[in-house]
Structure 1
């Protein structure tokens, strides 16, 4: 390995810094003598020290700040730490802790990370991209901060989301960290609290019109294609109507996807596939009622209908088994306030503004919460689902935890232990009578790193919905019977890397089957995926 830096600048570069693990020979050849204590650490000993320091932090936000500083100082150590205890640390790096980090980002930021692309630099986006020190970027996660988790418009504070997402690409999917670029398109904010905060670091201006936003995004996408021609763009946490519009505009023009729409859809689909192994009802016979009819819910419905069609239903049959309930009530055929993308699910039902009445009329096998309305799945709702199902499927997927439609304990208690449960944020195990249930977390982390690794290893030119269905099947296939017996419908996060690499192989099969790469198909797809996976280990320096 050739290192372009020496001395103190080397210790400040997280890509190459080993800290106290530089050998005595490396210290002498790289001008580091005197800049480090004389003791030489192993990476394993540095991991032990990091966990000791982490344990001394008395809040999850404090632990988030510590891990962020570690990432800014030593990438190899950071990813080694994450890989050592993923179930424990991923909630600190991403949901739910990242929600609090976004709300306070201007107050807690120690060091700028990623690339900020303000709309005031229109006409100069290529120049900004070329300022990034890596010339072969393969993945960009980009947000404009307009709909961060369930927290709304957080403007430039939303940069914590792309940073966190790309950390998971590496920790959970094996994508090398140097290939990843977090981007914040700063279009201002309509959040008055932020505009009045002297520590807010974004543009202090109202958000632009849809037309002005679209013009700037067009420049951004075309600039990425020119500057980083092998790059895949992940749109993240855009306002729902913008998210749908931009995905439709670019999905066939660029290698891109929207995680809130397609990633959320795939992880929900994986959950439903897992749930069918408990309920015994095939996917094609599921009836699903969504609370919330925005981009996340419509994305899940779209992918679910495609999967049902692959299982033998017609598109109309599949859509007839999916219904939506929004702030104005049940979406049904007499409603005149619907967007075009909602109308395929406006079926002939009696109007109602009572979610329980909708359950009693439709008799869904599953309810999916994508509303960001805390406790919307109250006792009446859970009991209504338990009345019409022997094993009701209850998925409160809204993030963060404070916006979850119900807790795991509520779902199990109110259903007399019969619920098949998964949520967007983590919940601890629940004891009901003589049984302990382990709730699953329907986290997109099961999906997008697998998509990323498959795209990277195969050099895919496009990302399709069929690839997300393949990823969902790959995740669901790995749930063991012992895990199903305690109610777990996702593989445990302790084996997340293995889960992702297996799912990535399933995605790669689709990429090659559909001719979505110019690379020749290898004999061993699993070997191809594993050969490309990043391993957080120090390399010796000649």
Structure 2
């Protein structure tokens, strides 16, 4: 879920940077489960664009508590070895950003303030529109605040967070509404799609489809306001579209359980969507006003 919603934000950001995913270089602060999930989904998306897995891996750099993950470093587990780069050791995130010059930095290590003033200013110096995802929860553990990102990148940063942040207004009057990468965008639609057609195996492809579907629901107006995700109050519509995409994919790949295949997949999924609206079965009654029940002289 975290990987899917993070990659959805990246897909939306590509509409601002106006290039391909494989044109970007990512530095992760953190190399745990969340970082690996996001990185593997980015790899899948890059391969879908047509570049080799080997070339895609060269675009993903990871920093853990011991510094940059590089080939030859001791005590690397298998997951970390996949992303080990052929590069000299580098100890600090600031130095990694300076040397690698990424187009995007993604924080998932719950280290508050990890995206320092120097890092954010460097990102703005390297890139016209730097991508800054501070995805750690809670807010007190965020790598930087929305205000810090927008202020230090002079309003050019493309920001998303794992925790909610209030709108930010810069001295020049620019106002941004930071996007929150919330798993709530992912799970309702995935569950609906999987249940609708009885998907036999939930593969990573489903989460990539979900990321693409979420990003497609972000409007140009949303992007102009700094939002990389659709409004949460549209979650029912977003979930329906995710589910329809999953159902379509499942039938095309022979992974659905329910046959015959429905001709109108949207109608097929819609009939399973729960509605909280109920008909009222309470008997209507009427209370006579006391004055009307008094004896009257005619």
Aligned-residue offset at 1:532: 0.6
Matched, 1:528 2:246: no
Which has the larger share of helix?
A: 1
Q: Which residue of structure 1 aligns with residue 207 of structure 2?
A: 468
Q: 3-state SS of the aligned residue for 1:375? A: coil
Aligned-residue offset at 1:381: 1.4
Distance 2:174 2:101 in 1: 27
Distance 2:72 2:151 in 1: 37
Q: Which residue of structure 2 aligns with residue 360 of structure 1?
A: 98
CA RMSD of aligned residues (A): 1.3
Q: 3-state SS of the aligned residue for 1:278? A: helix
Give structure 2 stretches of 5+ with no counterpart. 283-298
Of structures 1 and 2, the one scoring higher in RCO (CA 8 A, sep 6+) is 2
Distance 2:202 2:85 in 1: 31
Aligned-residue offset at 1:334: 2.6
1:302 is aligned, of 40, 45, 60, to: 40
Q: Deviations for 1:464-516, whole angstroms, at most 9, x for unmatched residues? A: 11111111100001111111111211111121211111122112221111111
Aligned-residue offset at 1:281: 2.2
Q: 3-state SS of the aligned residue for 1:534? A: coil
1:451 is aligned, of 187, 190, 204, to: 190
Instruction: Give the 5 Å matches for 1:377-456.
Output: 377-432=115-170, 433-456=172-195
Distance 1:289 1:456 in 2: 36
Distance 1:495 1:422 in 2: 18
- Judged with a 3 Å threshold, the aligned counterparts in structure 2 of structure 1 residues 366 and 496 are, in CA distance, closer, same or farther, namely same
Aligned-residue offset at 1:539: 4.6
Give structure 1 stretches of 5+ with no counterpart. 1-262
Q: Which residue of structure 2 aligns with residue 86 of structure 1?
A: none
CA contact (8 A) 1:466 1:510 kept: no
Aligned-residue offset at 1:540: 5.2
Distance 1:362 1:446 in 2: 32
Distance 2:19 2:113 in 1: 27
Distance 2:198 2:223 in 1: 35
Q: Kindly report structure 1 stretches of 4+ aligned residues shifted beyond 4 Å.
A: 539-542
Q: Deviations for 1:228-248, whole angstroms, at most 9, x for unmatched residues? A: xxxxxxxxxxxxxxxxxxxxx
After TM superposition, the score normalised by the length of structure 1 is 0.51
Instruction: Give the 5 Å matches for 1:208-357.
Output: 263-357=1-95
Distance 1:402 1:458 in 2: 41
